[in-house]
Structures are given as C-alpha cells and as structure tokens.
C-alpha cells in the first residue's frame, strides 16, 4: 500500500511539473517599425497619403490667402468705415478665421484617419508575420519594442530579422534600438 501511495505521489509530481513547465511561456520582442520601414509598400503609402494631404493643404492655403487679403483691405479702409460697416466686416473676418481653423482641424483628423486606413493592410501583414514567427519559435508573448521601454532585451528573443525574412524583405538591416 505504501508503495502504491509513493507511485501515485511521484506520478502527481511529474504531471504537476509538466503543467508548470507548459504554463511558462517564452517572451520575445520585435521592432515593428524597423520591419515596416523596409517594406516596399511603405513608400506607396507615403505617396498616397501625401497626395491626399495636398488637397487639404491647397484649399487651406487658398482660405488663408483670402483671409489675409480681406484683413489687409479692412485695415487699409478701417478709418473710413462707419461703425456699423466696421463691426460687420470684423464679424465676417472673425467668421472666416473660425472657418479656416475648423477646416484645418477637420483636415488634420481626416488625414490621420486616411493614414490609419492606408496603413491597416500593412500592419495586418506584419502582424500575421509576427504571429507566424512567434508560433514557429514557440513564443507565447511578443512585445513591440518600438513602443515599450524594455530594460533587458536578450538578443536571442529579438524576432525582428525573422519577421523580415518571413515577409521576404531580404538581408536584415541594422535595427535602431
């Protein structure tokens, strides 16, 4: 009976140890931006975003030029204006200035939204490659080292080059740390 009890106890210890070892996951890291920076799609994304942004910049410059012209005309003729005309013109100038600022804020938001929309497929592609490399190498967790402050970073746990290779990006470039 004592022998059976020892065998069961040893078996339980082996099972418990195996589960404990299985629960410990490897943690790796990747320089996400370093991967994206060498992708050929990034240049096209930058050009598309720049073209999109140019439409807003051109319109904003036209609005600002018109506002400056009207301000100069107002300043030049202010002394000759009646109080009612001066107040009306000041109100119009304030409205124009407000519309220009609102347009600038809206344009910034739309450009940011377009950037996110254009970059999503690129990020999804890199994410899929990171997932594949993590699975191949047995990592349970991968941290984006570009965004986090890591105090200790063992070189063996950096999967940036493996992700670049998975994406077919050729010879690994030096990683900016």
Q: Which pLDDT belongs to residue 94?
A: 95
Four-way CATH pick for 23-166: 3.30.70, 2.60.40, 2.30.29, 3.30.910: 3.30.910
Cα within 13 Å of Cα(39), Cβ side: 23
* pLDDT tens, N- to C-terminus, the chain (177 residues): 556 445 444 444 444 444 444 445 788 888 888 889 899 899 899 999 999 999 999 999 999 999 999 999 999 998 898 989 999 999 999 999 999 999 999 999 999 999 999 999 999 999 999 889 888 888 888 888 887 655 555 666 778 888 888 888 865 444 444
Q: Which pLDDT belongs to residue 152?
A: 52
Q: Which pLDDT belongs to residue 4?
A: 47
Distance CA 131, CA 163 (A): 9
Distance CA 30, CA 27 (A): 10
Per-domain residue ranges for the chain?
23-166
Q: Which pLDDT belongs to residue 15?
A: 47
Could you tell me the pTM of the whole model? 0.63
Distance CA 111, CA 49 (A): 7
């Amino acid at each position: 009976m004592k022998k059976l009890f020892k065998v069961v106890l040893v078996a339980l210890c082996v099972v418990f140890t195996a589960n404990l070892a299985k629960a410990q996951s490897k943690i790796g890291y990747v320089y996400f931006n370093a991967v994206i920076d060498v992708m050929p799609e990034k240049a096209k994304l930058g050009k598309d975003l720049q073209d999109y942004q140019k439409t807003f910049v051109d319109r904003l410059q036209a609005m600002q030029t018109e506002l400056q012209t009207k301000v100069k005309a107002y300043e030049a003729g202010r002394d000759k204006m009646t109080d009612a005309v001066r107040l009306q013109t000041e109100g119009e100038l304030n409205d124009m200035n407000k519309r220009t600022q609102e347009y600038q804020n809206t344009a910034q938001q739309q450009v940011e939204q377009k950037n996110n929309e254009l970059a999503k497929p690129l990020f999804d592609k890199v994410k899929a490659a990171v997932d594949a490399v993590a699975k191949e190498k047995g990592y349970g967790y991968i941290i984006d080292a570009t965004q986090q402050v890591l105090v200790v970073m063992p070189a063996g746990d950096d999967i940036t080059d493996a992700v670049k290779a998975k994406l077919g990006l050729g010879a690994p470039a030096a990683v900016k740390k």
